[in-house]
C-alpha cells in the first residue's frame, strides 16, 4: 500500500508540472500585460515599466516561470492586486466558509442519492419508478437560479426560517444558521441528477447473477440491497463523489454570491471581475492539486470497500 501511494505521488509530479506550465502560458501570453491592468488608463510608459519591474514581468520567460514555481512550492503568491491582501491569507480564510457548506452538502447528497437509488432501482418499471424519474427530469430542467430565488423568498424572507444573507464568526452558528438554507438549496438542485446516476449504478448490479443467486439462497431483499448490491455499486459512486469534490469547491459560487458567504467560489468571481491574476492563478493550481489528491484517495477507498480491487 505504501509503495503504491509513493508511486502515485511520484506520478503526480509530471502532471502537476504540465498544469503549472499551462497556467503560466495562459496568463502570460493570453491574459495580457498585467502592468496595463494595474496602471489604469491614465498612466504613462514610465509608470507601466515600474509596475513591470515590481511584478517581475520584465524578466525573461524562464525567470518568470521559476518565480511562479517558487510561489507554488512556498505557498506564497504575493499580494492580491485589488486589495493588497496576501493571497495565502485569502485562500486560508475563504476555505473554511466553503467547506462549511460543501461538506454537509456532499454528505447529504451522497446519502440521500444512495438511499433513493436503492429504493427506486428495486421497483424498476413500476409506477413509483416512473413517477420519480419524471420528477427528476423536471427538477433537472429548472435552473439553480429559480431554486435560489424561490427558497430565499419563501423560506427566508416570507417565513423567516433562515436569514436571507450573512455569515457569522462561529462554526456552529454558521453551520446551523447561515449555511442551512444554501445546503438545502444545493441538495434540492443536486438530488435529481444524483438519483438518476446512482440508480443506473444500482441497476447494473441488480441484474448481475450474484443477486439472483442470493435470492435463490433465501436472503432477504434488505440484505441483498444494503450489503451485496450497495457494496458493488460503491465503486462508481466513490468515483463520482471524489471527481466532483474539487468542482464543487468552485461551482458553489452562485450560492456563495447570493447568500453573501465569503468562500472560495465567491472569491474566484471577484478575482475575475477585478482581473486579479495572483488569486486566480493560486486557486487554479491548488484546485488542480486537490483533484489529483482526491483521485488518489478514491483509489484507496476502492480497496477499503472491496479488498478484491488490485492497486497497480
pLDDT of the residue at 180:
93
Claim to verify: residue 28 and residue 151 sit in the same structural domain: no
pLDDT over 90, % of the chain: 21
Claim to verify: residue 94 and residue 48 sit in the same structural domain: no
Claim to verify: residue 59 and residue 104 sit in the same structural domain: no
| Domain containing residue 24 | 15-74
Q: What is the DSSP string of 137-154?
A: HHHHHS-HHHHHHHHIII
| Residue 145 domain flag | yes
* C-alpha closest to that of 107 among 230, 248, 271: 248
Write out pLDDT tens, residues 6-47. 888 888 889 889 988 888 888 777 666 677 666 666 666 777
pLDDT of the residue at 25:
84
Q: How many domains would you assign to the chain?
A: 2
Claim to verify: residue 144 and residue 261 sit in the same structural domain: yes
Claim to verify: residue 97 and residue 64 sit in the same structural domain: no
C-alpha dist (Å) from residue 287 to 8, 28, 158: 18, 20, 38
Low-confidence ranges of the chain (pLDDT < 50): none
Write out pLDDT tens, residues 171-205. 888 988 999 999 999 999 999 999 999 999 988 88
Claim to verify: residue 63 and residue 177 sit in the same structural domain: no
Burial grade of 178 (CB within 10 A; 0-12, 13-18, 19 or more)? buried
Amino acid at each position: 500500500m505504501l509503495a503504491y501511494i509513493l508511486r502515485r505521488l511520484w506520478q503526480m509530479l509530471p502532471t502537476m508540472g504540465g498544469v503549472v506550465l499551462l497556467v503560466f502560458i495562459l496568463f502570460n501570453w493570453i491574459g495580457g500585460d498585467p502592468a496595463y491592468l494595474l496602471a489604469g488608463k491614465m498612466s504613462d510608459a514610465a509608470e507601466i515599466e515600474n509596475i513591470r519591474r515590481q511584478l517581475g514581468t520584465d524578466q525573461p520567460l524562464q525567470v518568470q516561470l521559476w518565480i511562479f514555481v517558487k510561489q507554488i512550492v512556498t505557498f506564497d503568491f504575493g499580494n492580491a492586486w485589488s486589495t493588497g491582501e496576501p493571497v495565502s491569507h485569502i485562500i486560508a480564510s475563504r476555505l473554511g466558509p466553503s467547506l462549511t457548506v460543501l461538506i454537509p452538502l456532499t454528505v447529504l447528497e451522497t446519502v440521500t442519492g444512495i438511499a433513493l437509488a436503492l429504493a427506486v432501482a428495486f421497483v424498476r418499471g413500476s409506477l413509483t419508478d416512473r413517477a420519480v424519474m419524471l420528477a427528476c427530469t423536471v427538477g433537472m430542467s429548472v435552473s439553480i437560479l429559480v431554486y435560489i430565488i424561490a427558497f430565499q423568498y419563501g423560506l427566508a424572507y416570507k417565513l423567516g426560517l433562515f436569514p436571507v444573507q450573512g455569515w457569522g464568526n462561529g462554526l456552529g452558528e454558521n453551520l446551523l444558521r447561515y449555511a442551512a438554507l444554501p445546503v438545502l438549496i444545493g441538495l434540492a438542485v443536486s438530488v435529481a441528477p444524483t438519483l438518476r446516476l446512482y440508480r443506473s449504478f444500482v441497476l447494473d448490479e441488480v441484474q448481475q447473477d450474484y443477486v439472483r443467486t442470493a435470492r435463490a439462497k433465501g436472503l432477504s431483499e434488505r440484505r441483498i440491497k444494503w450489503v451485496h448490491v450497495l457494496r458493488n455499486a460503491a465503486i462508481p459512486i466513490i468515483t463520482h463523489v471524489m471527481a466532483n469534490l474539487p468542482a464543487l469547491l468552485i461551482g458553489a459560487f452562485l450560492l456563495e454570491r447570493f447568500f453573501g458567504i465569503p468562500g472560495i467560489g465567491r472569491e474566484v468571481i471577484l478575482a475575475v471581475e477585478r482581473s486579479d491574476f495572483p488569486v486566480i492563478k493560486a486557486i487554479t493550481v491548488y484546485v488542480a492539486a486537490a483533484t489529483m489528491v482526491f483521485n488518489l484517495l478514491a483509489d484507496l477507498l476502492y480497496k477499503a470497500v472491496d479488498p478484491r480491487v488490485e492497486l497497480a
